[in-house]
Amino acid sequence: MGHCNRCFFTLCPLLLLLLLPSSSGADLQFDFPAKIRDLNLFPSQDVNIVRHPNCHADKLVEKPLRFPNLLPAQSGVSLDNLAHSAGYYPIAHSNAARMFYFFFESRNSKKDPVVIWLTGGPGCSSELAVFYENGPFKIADNMSLVWNDYGWDKVSNLLYVDQPTGTGFSYSSDKRDIRHDEEGVSNDLYDFLQAFFAEHPEYVENDFFITGESYAGHYIPAFAARVHRGNKAKEGIHINLKGFAIGNGLTDPAIQYKAYTDYALDMGIIQKTDYDRINKLMVLMEQLHARLHILFVIRYSIPSCHILTISMWYYDIRKKCEGSLCYDFSNMEKFLSIKSVRDALGVGDIAFVSCSSTVYQAMLVDWMRNLEVGIPGLLEDGINMLVYAGEYDLICNWLGNSKWVHAMEWSGQKEFVSSPEVPFTVDDSEAGLLKTYGPLSFLKVHDAGHMVPMDQPKAALEMLKRWTQGTLSESGDDAEKLVAEM
């Protein structure tokens, strides 16, 4: 199958159809390493299941975080009165899981909403987002940390968590803590939040929002539903859940997979003849899919990837990977291995697992599940949802996301569908196209691929700010005026 490796770096919608749910360990032998190489991530360890956890006791381990190599900010931010912390919380209903997290107090006000970010994968660490997307700092090539002018901590009290267990610095001494579905994932996240708010009661009253990207399109709706259910049942500390946002997510695979060819045709990646041929195959696949184990379908359709070989990158169709390098996250691994940094984080001798193939494989049974089903209930209860997508991402493209959002049945569906698309304006220019009705918003972000906060940091920060403040649907100018008047 060596010759097929190449296909994973090329655009082959049919293969993509198969790439995502390549749902068995056997196929991952070539699939996953390719994906990791794509991100230029080479974790020294595959998963954090540790034999003798001697570094962390049963109770909370949390400490103020002071990175040793943070450069002074230009704009007068001072760390002196900002609460930054990192550490581990034991996960209450797990066997022995410890979840690692970062907390960054808002640079603006402690009263800002609490926002949690989840990176996808499944099995990739949220540090990817901390240092390359929306965290307070960026890593310079000389391993200094530089303040990020568009960190989401400018408008929120920002939490990142390494999850599912085994990812990033999160670990367990018990293999049973590896999760296989959204029930397990969302229960652990709920336990994590309970631990966080128990330790930080000063933030309990704040608005709370869940955000994330990519495979988090699965985690987020499940997590939001879990929090809402806990609130209704008065299960633990009440969490002031106001909304959840999914960026270039995978939420309703059946609809989103069908949209690959539509998107590829629209973008001129494939011709109509390819489109027809692939769609025919897809119908066939669907029938097979319904009847047979997915593995079978993947195995036997791989040769068909040769129908198209375009060297294009599925996280951003505008770009070509240079050599084997698409994204370059190597600075992060370098940075997180520095002794003084590890001491600051209090991670003991736990390895950093940037993307865990074990966690990824364990979640494959969850891949094709439709997570849209729990969303209408949340909308009806007044919880807001924002779905946004960078327009040049193929893997979780905006079209597929737009399709499931439009197809979703809820009391405001008709009104949402007929609502006008309006420009999302940042600095007097159109940064995206927005459609909103009631609690539901959809935003197509211009000039961005899979990782919107990386590609369009300013627009992403504006988006978060307006959305959490409830002013997203006002035009940019109005929103700015409003803020100016206040």
Ligand X SMILES: *[C@@H]1O[C@H](CO)[C@@H](O)[C@H](O)[C@H]1NC(C)=O
Stretch that binds ligand X, among 108-116, 137-145, 219-227, 471-479 (CB under 6 A): 137-145
Amino acid identity, residue 81? N
The residue from 4, 146, 204, 365 that contacts ligand X (CB under 6 A) is: 146
Residue 144 interacts with ligand X (CB under 6 A): yes or no: yes
Please report, for residues 2, 20, 257, 258, 262, the alpha-carbon distance to residue 278 in angstroms, rounded to integers and kept in the order given: 23, 16, 12, 10, 11
Catalytic entry in 191, 366, 393, 455: 393
Beta carbon of residue 149, minimum distance to ligand X (angstroms, whole number): 14
Q: Provide the CA 381 distance to its chain's centre, in angstroms.
A: 24
The residue from 1, 26, 57, 71 that contacts ligand X (CB under 6 A) is: 71
Smallest Cα–Cα separation from 351: which of 340, 373, 336? Answer: 336
The residue from 74, 78, 81, 142 that contacts ligand X (CB under 6 A) is: 142
393 is catalytic: yes
The residue from 1, 26, 140, 310 that contacts ligand X (CB under 6 A) is: 140
The number of residues that bind ligand X (CB under 6 A) is 5
450 is catalytic: yes
Smallest Cα–Cα separation from 432: which of 407, 458, 413? Answer: 458
Residue 82 interacts with ligand X (CB under 6 A): yes or no: no
Q: Provide the CA 43 distance to its chain's centre, in angstroms.
A: 19
Q: Contact, 244 vs 385, CB < 8 A? A: yes
Residues 6+ apart with CB under 8 A from 407: 252, 255
CA within 13 Å, CB half, 455: 22
Beta carbon of residue 140, minimum distance to ligand X (angstroms, whole number): 4
Stretch that binds ligand X, among 24-32, 136-144, 231-239, 397-405 (CB under 6 A): 136-144
Residue 72 interacts with ligand X (CB under 6 A): yes or no: no
Applying the rule CB under 6 A, the residues between 444 and 473 that interact with ligand X are none
- Cα-trace Rg, the chain: 22
Q: Contact, 179 vs 362, CB < 8 A? A: yes
Residue 240 interacts with ligand X (CB under 6 A): yes or no: no
Closest to ligand X by CB, 140 vs 283, is 140
Catalytic entry in 214, 354, 419, 473: 214
Would you say how long the chain is, in residues? Answer: 486
Closest to ligand X by CB, 132 vs 257, is 132
Element (H, E) at 426: strand 422-426
Question: What is the set of active-site residues?
Answer: 214, 393, 450
Q: Which residues contribute to the site for ligand X (CB under 6 A)? A: 71, 140, 142, 144, 146
